[in-house]
Each structure stands twice: as C-alpha cells, then as structure tokens.
Structure 1
Amino acid sequence: MKRLKIYILLALILLVFIHGTGCSQFFRRPREQNQQQQQQQKKDPPKSLLSMEEQTDSIIKQIQNIKEQRQKIEKQQAQDNGLAQKTEQQGQQEQQEKEGQESEKQGQQKKQGQGEGQQEQGKQQSRQQKKPEIDWTGFDTKIQALHSQWNSFEPQAKRDGAGNRLISDFEVQLDALTRQVTARNESQTLLAANKLYQYFPKFLNLYKHHAPPECKEVKYYVQQVILYGQEDDWENAEQLLPDIRDAWERAKGKMQTPDKNLNEKIDYAVDDFIRVVGQKDLVLVKLKADILLKNLQTIK
C-alpha cells in the first residue's frame, strides 16, 4: 500500500513537471509576439530627438578629429626637429674638421648655417600656425540648436513616457555642456558631450526603432573608454567593460530578426576591444573601437 502511494506521488510530481514545462513553452511564444506588437504600436522617434543626437555626436567627432590631426602634425614636427638637430651636429663636425682653414671661409660657413637655421625655424613656425583649432562659433550654433530642439522635444518626451529623473538629468548635462563650450574648454567639452550622449538611447527606447537603442549605449561606453584612455586613466576605463558587454547582450535580446553572422562579428569585436583595453594601448584601443562601432552601424 505504501509503495502504491509512493508511485502515485511520483506520478503526480512528474505530471506537474510536464504540465509546467508545456505551459511555459506554450506561453513563451505569445509573450514574444506581444513584445513585437508593442514595438509596432510605438511611434517613430521625433525629428527633434534625432537631430539632438546627431548634433551631440557631431561635437564629439569634430573634437576627436582635430585632436588626431594635431597629433599627426606634432609627430611630423618632432621628426623635422630631429632631422634639423642631426643636420646641425653634422655641420658642427665639419666645422671642427676645417678648423685649420682660413677664418674668412669659416665665417661664411657660420653665416650660411645661421641662415639655414633661420629658414628651418621659419618653416617650423609656419607648420605650427597650421594646427587645426576648434570652431567654437560653430559649436555655439550647435548649442543653440540643442536647446531649441530640447524645448520642442521635452513636452512630447513627457507625454510619451519619459520619467522626471531622465528629463532632469538630461537638462543638467545639457547645461553642463553649454558652460564648457562657453568657457572654450576643449577636453571638458568633449567629456560633457559624451555624457550627454548617454541619455539618447533611453529616450529612443520610447519609440519605434530598427536597431536597438542599446547599440548607441555601447557606443557611449566605448567612447568613454577612449576618453579615459586619452587621459591615461585605465582604471576607470576598465570599469566600463562589463557595461559594454551587458548593453550588447540586451541589444541582441531585442532584435526581432537578428543577423547571426553580423552578431557573431560584433561578439568578437567586443571581445577584442575589451582585450586591448586590458593592454592599455591607446592605438590598439582606437583601432578596435573603430571596427566595433562600424559593425554596430550596420545593424538594421
């Protein structure tokens, strides 16, 4: 009798397990369909939001491009200075070898050397004057546009479900960016612009989208890692690496028709980027970041 009760109990447990598994599989597909329906019911993102994202991204790219151009010019100047020093040393050696010659000839050589030195100095000054500078007047125009577009988007964002905290945080950071542009502070403007960029994925999640907004979240973290790397602050840079992987995993989870080959490429690109950040090599970090961001842009 006891055995019979045990068999009945085991049978009931097995039945409950099978029933639970079947129900979970049964309800899983309707949940996925419900998520797709909710996405389809969302409105297209307002033009003012898309324009703000483009303006902010433009500020970041312009400053980074100018910084890279300056680095190339400085590298070329360093090479030119090294060549000039080498030429000067060779000239001094030749003069020492000709010490026994007439003083008049030595004087002519000295004048010639001084003339060549002045010409080289003039060339260097000319190259220094050609270093690119930030178009702050253009940035002032972009800031004015950002405030105008925010004034247009803010009430709509509230109606479409944006929380008070998100709206407040965005306004605080927009004001911070404005102050840095007004102060003509290049490094702080770059940092403030990227911090502002982190809010756009959150707003975009309120609307219909093809590529998940979390892809832009990955972009924000990658850019922030580069900014930390440029300041040789690798400790803070490495702290963002789990956020990059987490944002990318969430992005994949939202894809309605994922491209498996592309996602696999991005998986490896994320791994490569994280690996080179650990090596603290800014050149490699920028190279791997460029590959990762280009792959993210191709998501549809």
Structure 2
Amino acid sequence: MGYFTIKSRNWSTRLICFFIISLLFFPGCSMMNKITGKQPEKSEKSEAIPKQLEDVEASIEKIFGVLKGPSLVSGEANGQSEQTQTGEQNQAGSSQSQTNGQNQTEGGSQQKEQSGKSSSGQTNTNQVADPFQQAALEINKLHYLWNEIMPEINKKGAPKKLTEDFSNSLNNLTESVTTKDKMKIMLALNALYAKIPNVYALYKTNISPEIKNIIYFSRSTILFAESKDWGKASVAIKELKSSWAMLNNALEGKQQDDSGKLDMSILELEKVVQEQNTQLVQIKGKITLANIAALQKSLQEAQQSEKQKK
C-alpha cells in the first residue's frame, strides 16, 4: 500500500513538472511573457486623427496669436508672416497705382474714377486689422468645424457630456468676443482647449493625448499669472508638473533631448510663479510652450517614421 502511494506521488510530481514545462515552452503561451516581463506585440494599428480636429486646434492657436496671447505658434513667425503679407500688399498697391497713372494719362474721367477707387483700396490695405474681428471670424469657423466633427466622434463613442461641454464652451467663447475683453476671451478660449485632450483620447494613437493637457495647464499658468490670480496659477503649475510626469515616464530615448529641455523650462516656470513675477512668467511660459511644440513635433515625426517602416 505504501509503495502504491509513493508511486502515485511520483506520477503526480511528473505531471506537474510536465505541465509547468509546457506552459514555459509551448508556442504562443503568455506565461513566458509574464515571467520574463516581455510584453506581447501590439496588434492594434494607430488611428488617423480627423483633419477637422487638427483644424480646430489650428484655429485656437490662431486666435491666441491675433490676441498676442500664449500660442504654440512662434510670435516672431507670426510677425514675419504679417510683414511679408503687408509688403506684398504694398507692392501690389504700388503696381496698381502705376497702372492707374498710365490709364489716366491716356485720358478720360473714367481713369480718374478708377484711380480714386485704387487710392481708397490702398488706404484700406494699410489699415491694421481689428484683432477682435479676426477672432470672431475664426470662432465662426470653429462652429462649422465642430458641426463636421461631431458625427465622427459620436461614432467613436464620445460621452454625451464631452460633446455638451465642448458646445457650451464654444458658445461661451463666442459670447466673450462681444465684450472685447482680451483676457476674458483668452480664458474662454483656453477653457475650450481643455476639452481637446478628451477628444484625442477617443483615438488610438502612439502619441499620448496627455501632451494636450500639458499645453492647457501651461497656458492656464501664464493667463492666471497675467491676471494676478496667483492662487489659480499655483494650482495650474502643480497640475502641469503632474501631467508632465505622466507623459515623461512614457517617452522613449529618442525624445530625451526635447523632454530634457521641457523638464527644465517647467521647473523655471514654477520658480517664477512662486516668486509671483508676472513678466518672467510670460517669458518662461513662452519658452515652455516652444519646448512643448518641439516635443510634439518630434513625437509626430517618430510616429510617421514608424508608419513608413511598416
């Protein structure tokens, strides 16, 4: 009887050993991955972000730009673009003036009338565009873009609260323009941008939507500091650091240079917020946004490179 018991135990031990070996070496088994820490390859493909959503972001950045606020687009680049456009307009006006002069020499009151129209047109060309009018035009564009993208994100399973919050924020932004209060408009604009990360989160991409939160909290810090609301500015910089820590941990080595610059600029921004130095917050804030833009571009290029390899 004792022999039978020992033999049975031996067989049980062999079966257990065989089972463990099968788990370790059987093709396709996940046990080996768990033991070695190796993650299975991702089978999900990165989804394309709708162009309308990218256009929404571009319009928001343009509005910040025309209001001379904290934009991801370089202020120097905007200024250069405006100067180039003005130069082209003046050159066109000069050419038109010469043509009118020739027509007038050839005679007739009709040429004088055309010259008068040209002169009036030249005056309009040299007038400085109203930033609030420009903002209103871009906001009107946002309404159309949002109307186009809503069916798409609803198919992606967007919560009703997300679409309602975005619509309400867009309506509040539209109403704020009528006040012609620059700070009020920019705060409403940033409140609208706060919904962007949640929209991006509906799509499976290799770039974390957390970078959009970093943009939002950076802008919040700058705007609240400019408004002398240091309590909210302090909260915003804490949220920025927390959001950045989450993204930074997920970054790969290729982005270490860009992430290092951004990390230092956020620390610099935090320091001047603690000192309640409005002027330095504006400077350090712009540097932080520039570093975010550089990192975002680097991530996008890396994603594009991966797509080309496949």
Among the aligned pairs, what percent are the same residue?
Answer: 24
Deviation at 1:24, TM superposition (A): 8.2
Please say if 1:231 is aligned against 2:251.
no
Corresponding residue for 1:56?
60
Corresponding residue for 1:242?
238
Whole-angstrom CA distance in 1 between matches of 2:46 and 2:150: 18
In structure 2, relative to structure 1, the CA distance for the partners of 1:263 and 1:155 (3 Å cut) is same
State the 4+ residue runs in structure 1 displaced beyond 4 angstroms.
Answer: 22-25, 208-211
In structure 2, relative to structure 1, the CA distance for the partners of 1:273 and 1:211 (3 Å cut) is farther
AA at the equivalent of 1:192 = A
Deviation at 1:280, TM superposition (A): 0.6
Corresponding residue for 2:148?
152
In structure 2, relative to structure 1, the CA distance for the partners of 1:26 and 1:290 (3 Å cut) is farther
Deviation at 1:291, TM superposition (A): 1.8
In structure 2, relative to structure 1, the CA distance for the partners of 1:266 and 1:24 (3 Å cut) is farther
Please say if 1:29 is aligned against 2:38.
yes
Corresponding residue for 1:216?
212
2:255 to 252, 259, 263: 259
Whole-angstrom CA distance in 1 between matches of 2:186 and 2:129: 14
Whole-angstrom CA distance in 1 between matches of 2:142 and 2:36: 45
In structure 2, relative to structure 1, the CA distance for the partners of 1:179 and 1:275 (3 Å cut) is same
Please say if 1:206 is aligned against 2:215.
no
Q: Secondary structure at the match of 1:149?
A: helix
Matches within 5 A, 1:158-177: 158-177=154-173
1:136 to 129, 132, 137: 132
Higher relative contact order, structure no. (Cα contacts within 8 Å, ≥ 6 residues apart): 1
Task: Provide the aligned length of Structure 1 versus Structure 2.
Answer: 212
The C-alpha deviation readout for 1:87-130, integer Å capped at 9, x for no partner, is xxxxxxxxxxxxxxxxxxxxxxxxxxxxxxxxxxxxxxxxxxxx
Contact 2:214 2:244 in 1 (8 A): yes
Contact 2:66 2:134 in 1 (8 A): no
1:292 to 288, 295, 298: 288
Whole-angstrom CA distance in 2 between matches of 1:59 and 1:24: 49
Contact 1:63 1:134 in 2 (8 A): no
Q: Secondary structure at the match of 1:64?
A: coil
In structure 2, relative to structure 1, the CA distance for the partners of 1:61 and 1:210 (3 Å cut) is farther
Report the RMSD for the aligned CA atoms in angstroms: 2.8
Structure 1, 43-52 or 158-167: larger mean CA deviation = 158-167
Q: Secondary structure at the match of 1:298?
A: helix
Whole-angstrom CA distance in 2 between matches of 1:174 and 1:248: 27
Whole-angstrom CA distance in 2 between matches of 1:185 and 1:208: 38
Deviation at 1:202, TM superposition (A): 1.8
The C-alpha deviation readout for 1:230-257, integer Å capped at 9, x for no partner, is 1211111101122101111222244356
In structure 2, relative to structure 1, the CA distance for the partners of 1:47 and 1:210 (3 Å cut) is same
Whole-angstrom CA distance in 1 between matches of 2:66 and 2:154: 31
Mark the runs of 5 or more structure 1 residues left unpaired by the alignment: 1-21, 69-131
Contact 2:46 2:206 in 1 (8 A): no
Deviation at 1:140, TM superposition (A): 2.3
Deviation at 1:206, TM superposition (A): 2.4
In structure 2, relative to structure 1, the CA distance for the partners of 1:65 and 1:177 (3 Å cut) is closer
Whole-angstrom CA distance in 2 between matches of 1:255 and 1:202: 20
Normalising by structure 1, we get a TM-score of 0.63
The C-alpha deviation readout for 1:155-191, integer Å capped at 9, x for no partner, is 1111123222211111110010011123433321111
The C-alpha deviation readout for 1:2-46, integer Å capped at 9, x for no partner, is xxxxxxxxxxxxxxxxxxxx9785374326x44xx44xx242111
Whole-angstrom CA distance in 1 between matches of 2:287 and 2:35: 40
